[in-house]
């Protein structure tokens, strides 16, 4: 079973268990990738639409007030994910105090990422306080460039494509998936152009390591003369997700 089949089975299992939010998130990340085989893309999109329909139906059956959203957001990770779904489909400006209170108090990294993405999508101009791994910062989401629209993202995708897309498309896909997760975990911060080679090298190392093939990574950096770029810290490794 290859990567795409495993992902499809994982999504179907989540849907069977009525974990529509988790299934949607899994599919959404995949559908944002630069390349998905057509036969899988159509199925992923169909499942994604189904998850959206189910979530919309759930949201319509209940009216969520401030206290409901607060209880969900400060509950379990699954409950907080549901709160994010509610906030994403509503006017988050009405709940900025609640969102900031969560983000400023040691937030879960996955929920933190979802909330920041919601603020960016809704073009929020208010300054938001954030506890980012112990670093106290303030940011304005409207000024944070979306991950997919950044020039540095395009540069890194092209670097990975040039290195692996033709010779090892499955490995390339794994690298792209890991890169996208890393960039979202770094929100609201961006990656500067001078960091791109360091980050791409770290992503390649991360994927080879996950496959237990460190020797292949050593061969890769030797062939590409990338030894000086090794050692860049990844949030993926820090968070172990």
Domain count, the chain: 3
Are 36 and 30 in contact by the 8 Å Cβ rule? The answer is yes
Report CA-CA distances (Å) from 117 to 81, 85, 122, 141, 225.
Answer: 13, 12, 9, 8, 36
Q: Are residues 176 and 189 in the same domain?
A: yes
Per-residue pLDDT tens digits for 178-205: 999 999 999 999 999 999 999 999 999 9
Query: For position 78, what pLDDT does the model report?
Result: 82
86 with 109, same domain: the answer is yes
Which of residues 123, 143, 163 is at a domain's end? Answer: 143
Is pLDDT above 70 for 1?
Answer: no
The partner residues of 198 in beta bridges, in order of sequence, read: none
Q: How confident is the model at residue 155 (pLDDT cuts 50, 70, 90)?
A: very high
Q: At what angle do helices 214-224 and 196-210 cross, to 10 degrees?
A: 150
Q: Is the pLDDT at 56 greater than 70, yes or no? A: yes
* The last residue of a domain, from among 143, 170, 190: 143
Mean pLDDT, rounded, for 25-40: 84
pTM: 0.75
Model confidence over 79-96: pLDDT tens digits?
A: 898 899 899 988 999 999
- CA-closest candidate to residue 80, choices 125, 154, 137, 22: 22
Domain span including residue 29: 3-60
Res 82: pLDDT: 86
CA 152/CA 174 separation, integer angstroms? 19
The pLDDT value recorded for residue 60 is 61
pLDDT of residue 53: 85
Better pLDDT: 82 or 124: 124
Residue 208 and residue 195 in one domain: yes
Give 193-197 contacts, CB < 8 A, sequence gap 24+: 193/151, 193/152, 193/155, 195/152, 195/232, 196/152, 196/155, 196/156, 196/159, 197/159, 197/226, 197/229
177-197 in b/e form (b: 16+ CB < 10 A) is: bbbbbbbbbbbbebbeeeebb
Among the three residues 143, 167, 199, which one is the final residue of a domain in this structure?
Answer: 143
Mean pLDDT computed over every residue of the chain:
91
Alpha-carbon distance of 23 to 21, in angstroms, equals 5
């Amino acid at each position: 079973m290859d990567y795409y089949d495993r992902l499809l089975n994982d999504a179907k299992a989540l849907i069977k268990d009525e974990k529509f939010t988790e299934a949607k998130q899994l599919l959404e990340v995949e559908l944002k990738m630069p390349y998905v085989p057509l036969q899988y893309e159509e199925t992923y999109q169909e499942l994604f639409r189904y998850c959206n329909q189910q979530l919309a139906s759930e949201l319509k059956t209940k009216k969520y007030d401030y206290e409901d959203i607060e209880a969900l957001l400060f509950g379990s990770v699954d409950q907080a994910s549901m709160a994010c779904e509610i906030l994403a489909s509503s006017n988050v400006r009405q709940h900025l105090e609640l969102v900031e209170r969560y983000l400023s108090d040691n937030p879960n990294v996955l929920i933190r990422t979802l909330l920041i993405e919601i603020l960016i999508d809704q073009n929020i101009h208010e300054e938001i306080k954030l506890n980012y791994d112990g670093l106290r910062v303030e940011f304005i989401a409207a000024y944070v460039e979306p991950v997919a629209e950044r020039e540095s993202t395009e540069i890194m995708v092209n670097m990975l494509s040039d290195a692996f897309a033709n010779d090892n498309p499955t490995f390339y896909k794994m690298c792209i998936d890991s890169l996208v997760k890393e960039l979202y975990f770094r929100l609201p911060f961006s990656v500067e152009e001078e960091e791109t080679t360091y980050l791409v090298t770290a992503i390649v190392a991360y994927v080879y390591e996950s496959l237990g093939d460190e020797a292949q990574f050593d061969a890769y950096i030797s062939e590409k003369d990338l030894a000086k770029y090794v050692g860049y810290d990844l949030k993926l490794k820090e968070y172990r997700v």
